[in-house]
Amino acid sequence: MIRVVIADDHPLLREGLRRILEFEEDIEVIAEVGDGQGAINIARSTKFDIMLMDLNMPGVNGLEACKVIRREHPEIGILVLTVDDSDEKIFQVLQLGVAGYLLKDVIPKTLVESIRKVYAGEPILAPSVTGKLLGQLTNSNVPKNNFGLSNREMEILTYVVKGSSNKDIGMSLFISEKTVKNHLSNIFRKLEVEDRTQAALKAVKLKLVQLD
């Protein structure tokens, strides 16, 4: 069972999210909170798997709550659900290592699938967010320093930035998922990051990858 907490300051939205998730046999909403401090408090007192986090909340906002929860409880998957798709906010949030970033116009089916993917350890980005990352890459020049990444590792890093799963990467490159995982471990080590989202962000920030 995937245990979910909803953090949003709009009661109607929280109720709507709860109703959507109640139909799923493998998902249970265990609590709702209306501000960032409430999100921090429940992370400190209750065991759960995923937090749906709004960013624009009164008092302690979602961004600050993300910082605290990621620092104190890195095992909790934070799935940001917001209306804010500004470049600055996207990069601020993703640099914290959240598990996903979705916009509130997402359809219920995609939301449910995203929760399951985050629970399985797969990062989630809304298409428009991915587009912004790719836009940054398209206008970049490849730097001289590639952190010792091999050509194969650079290929895989490019697929990671595109949001491809290990299975998709393996199929595209005709290698096994296990081989993909081994390459990813090397990539994370060389880039000094902990996960796929941080690797993608670092690739964008340092202009490691250039897309056609």
Q: With beta carbons less than 8 A apart as the criterion, state whether 7 and 33 touch.
A: yes
Q: How many residues does the chain have?
A: 212
Tokens 């996903």 belong to residue: 100
pLDDT of residue 18: 96
For 134, phi then psi, to 5°, come to -65, -35
Grade residue 190 by pLDDT with cuts at 50, 70 and 90.
very high
Q: Tell me the pTM.
A: 0.67
Query: Would you place residue 142 in the very low, low, confident or very high pLDDT band (cuts 50, 70, 90)?
Result: very low
Q: Is the pLDDT of residue 135 over 90?
A: no
Please answer whether residues 21 and 1 qualify as being in contact, where contact means their C-beta atoms are separated by less than 8 angstroms.
no
What average pLDDT does the chain have? 87
Alpha carbon distance 139, 75 (integer Å): 35
SS (H, E, C) 122-136: CCEECHHHHHHHHHH
Largest CA distance in the chain: 51
On the question of pLDDT at 147 being above 70, the answer is: yes
**DSSP string across 77-145:** EEEEEES---HHHHHHHHTTT-SEEEETT--HHHHHHHHHHHHTT--EE-HHHHHHHHHHHHTPPPPS-
Of the given ranges (94-98, 112-116, 140-144), which has the lowest mean pLDDT? 140-144
Domains located in the chain, CATH noted: 2-125 (3.40.50.2300), 132-205 (1.10.10.10)
Please state the φ and ψ torsions of residue 191, each to the nearest 5 degrees. -85, -10
Provide Rg for the chain, Cα atoms: 17
